Structure 1
Amino acid sequence: MKFASLGSGSEGNALLISTASGADRTTVMLDCGFNIKETERRLQRRGMVPADLSGIVVTHEHQDHVGGVFKFARRHHLPVWLSFGTFHAVRKDCDGVQYRFCRDGEPLSIGHLELIPYTVPHDAREPVQYVVRDGRFKLGVLTDAGQATQHLTQSLSGCDALVLECNHDRGMLANSSYPPSLRSRIGGAYGHLSNDTTADILAALDRSRLKIVVGAHLSQQNNTPELARAALSSVIDGDTARIMIACQEDGFDWISLDALADQAGEDS
């Protein structure tokens, strides 16, 4: 399994997840918050073209995650998976798109990948995040949630890799120029995860298999990569897992879990 980001932040999100069985490869795109031309440009930067994709999987209806999904899917004849609640929020955009429903805890198979949706507390109709398996590795993704839940923690435990929202630093948000209502929404129970809340989530997980954790969805106004990295490091300092930080413009390049596993074997 390998994964890469086309971009991560309030201006657009898209995550590629890929695995191969022999010469047959399956690649899905998790969310697409960019327009068609920009998505194609960012795919090319990762050595991909739209025809390489097996489908698009959606977390929720906010525009930085779903803004480009249906136009892109329609243009390139790709199926889309989304929750029933998300569908109701975006149904006017679904014409001409082959869509399928997913729900909490029910695995969906796309080629050689198995994706398991899990519900999260976020201010959307029926938001889900995903754990992805390929028979060997397990990737957990959490990009939009307002607080930790037992269900969320159970879903993300035992992963080989994690992509975790580190949206804001509480102090920077409190002192930002945002109006009080927006600060309240972002920092609330159905908003976005602060660095320290994400660190608490990470500390509660089974990290025995963890090889890498990527801090994602950073606010450009209310966080810094250094603060996000410090929060993650406070939990896994001394562990063998690596830390990376995704950015809005570049996301991050392909991360191969096979390569990390091989390196871990060499290090041991």
Structure 2
Amino acid sequence: MKFASLGSGSEGNALLITAASGTTSTTVMLDCGFTIRETERRLERLGVQAGSLSGVIVTHEHSDHVGGVFKFARRHRIPVWLSYGTYQAARRDADGVEVSLCRDGEAFSIGDLLLLPYTVPHDAREPLQYVASDGARRLGVLTDAGHVTPYLVETLGGCDALLLECNHDLEMLANSTYPPSLRRRIGGKFGHLSNASSTDILRSLDKSRLKTVIGAHLSKQNNTPQLAQAALEEGIGGMAIALRIACQEEGFGWTDVI
């Protein structure tokens, strides 16, 4: 199993996950917050043809995650999976797209991949994040969550690789030019994970199998790659875990789940 990002941040998000078994291979895209043309351009950069995707999975209805989902899926005749609440919030754009509903704790298969949705605290209708598995390895994905919960820590325990939100530095957010209401929303219990929260998550996780952590969804205004990297380093406490930071423009290239 391997994964790659088309881009990660408030201007658009999309993550590719691929698994192979014998002569078959499955690639899905988690979220699509870019235009059709931009999504196709970024897929080409990663060596992926749009028509080869087996599905698009949606975390929630905010535009940087769902903005391009239905137009892209409709053009390339790709099925979409999302929660009932997310569907209700975004259904006006879903005409002509094959839609399947998923819910917290109920795993579903797409080809060679098994996807486990789990609930996170975020200001959306029914937000989900996912753990992907090929039967041997587990990839955990956690972005767009306002605070740490025992449930998400338990769900992400024992993963081999983790994509983890490091949205903002607390001091930079407090001193930013954002209006007070936006600062409260981002830093609130249903907003986004700070560097400090990501450190706490890593400290709490079962890291016995963890080999790779990638910091994601960084704010351009309220964080830096250096601060996010330092937070991840503090969280792993000197363990032999590879650390990387995703960016908005390039995401990151193909990374094996080992």
2:54 — aligned with what? 54
SS of 1:114's equivalent? strand
- 8 Å Cα contact 2:107-2:115 kept in structure 1: yes
Q: Does 1:136 align with 2:141?
A: no
- Cα distance in 1, alignment partners of residues 42 and 95 from structure 2: 25
Q: Which residue of structure 1 lines up, in the alignment, with residue 74 of structure 2? A: 74
AA in 2 matched with 1:42: R
CA offsets 1:90-127 (integer angstroms, 9 cap, x no match): 01011000000000000010001000000000000000
RMSD of aligned residue pairs (Cα, Å): 0.6
**Structure 1 counterpart of 2:30:** 30
Contact 2:19 2:27 in 1 (8 A): yes
User: 1: distance between equivalents of 2:237 and 2:150?
Assistant: 24
Q: Shift of the alpha carbon at 1:53?
A: 0.5
Could you tell me which residue of structure 1 aligns to residue 189 of structure 2? 189
Matching residue of 1:83:
83
Q: Aligned partner of 1:173: which letter?
A: L
User: Aligned equivalents of 1:236 and 1:157: distance in 2?
Assistant: 13
Cα deviation per residue 1:180-229 (whole Å; 9 max; x = unaligned)?
Answer: 00000000000000000011011100000001000000000000000000
- Is the aligned partner of 1:249 residue 2:249? yes
1:264 corresponding residue in structure 2: none
The residue identity in structure 1 corresponding to 2:180 is: P
d(CA) in 1 for partners of 2:116 and 2:189? 23
- Partner Cα distance (2:50, 2:73) in 1: 9
What per-residue deviation string (whole Å, max 9, x for no partner) do you get for residues 23-74 of structure 1?
Answer: 2110000000000000000000000011220000000000000000000000
Other-structure match for 1:265: none
Distance in 1 (CA, whole Å) between partners of 2:254 and 2:225 is 19
| Correspondence list, 1:89-104, <5 A | 89-104=89-104
Bigger drift between 113-122 and 232-241 goes to 232-241
Task: Give 3-state SS (helix, strand or coil) of 1:186's partner.
Answer: helix
CA distance in 1, matches of 2:99, 2:150: 30
Structure 1: how far apart are the matches of 2:236 and 2:59? 27
Aligned to 2:214: 214
Residue type at the aligned position of 2:236: I
CA distance in 2, matches of 1:256, 1:140: 13
Separation (CA, whole Å) in 2 of partners of 1:42 and 1:52: 14
Q: Deviations over 1:140-186 (max 9, x none)?
A: 00011000011111110000000000000000000000000000000
Partner of 1:157 in structure 2?
157
Question: What residue ranges of structure 2 are gaps of 5+ in the alignment?
Answer: none
Number of residues paired by the alignment?
258
The answer to whether the 8 Å contact 2:198/2:235 transfers is no
Q: TM-score, normalised by structure 2?
A: 0.99
Q: CA deviation at 1:256?
A: 1.1
Shift of 1:238: 2.0
8 Å CA contact retained: 2:108, 2:115: yes
2:171 match? 171
Gaps of 5+ in 1: 262-268
Runs of 4+ residues over 6 Å off in structure 1: none
